[in-house]
Structure 1
Amino acid sequence: MKNLFLSAAIILGGLTSFASTSPISNSIVKTISIQDEYTEIKLEEVPAAITEALKKAYPDAVLSKAYKNAKSEYKLDVAVGDKVGNLFANADGTWIKK
């Protein structure tokens, strides 16, 4: 009788390990890289509207480089204090979030 209970417990214990399923995850990661071709321009070629907008938004900013793409969007390399970053603007001085 003792052997019967022991063998039943072993069989049930073995079946529960097969009953558990591991989660299956099929994850597809799609990465889209959008790269606009910007060409470097002289700082004198940056429109006055952009330089005025830069002075208004960031009075202490120093413009180090400027780039322009085919859609007349400008990429500006700017330093404010010890922080360096990029700003994007249209030709009319409107800031673009990218």
Structure 2
Amino acid sequence: MSVATQLGLDDPHVGLLAAAHSSWSAWVAEHEGLGVVADLAELPAWLTSHPGERNAVLKVIAGLASPQDGDDVAAAAVLAWLLVPGASLVAAGKLTARAAVD
């Protein structure tokens, strides 16, 4: 069983990811930096193709998830969903942690 499956992050139409998809347009309206994609499902590909800009987007999502800011559990799920693939590669030894750091 994959980490994404164990965390309930393998189906974007269920649970917290479904809630995040529903919240995406409101988040974009509040934080224009998230407007880089129209739909949350497009974000992983965008982050891969825009490495110089991804930290700004991840920072906004982390703020939404932070108890001191948005305290939004769905945003925390998005952050985990975005980070699990890289963490899985590091865990499998296919990518060093050093190479994964910007």
Point out the structure with the larger helix share.
2
- Whose RCO is larger (CA < 8 A, sep 6+)? 2
With the length of structure 1 as denominator, give the TM-score of the two structures: 0.27
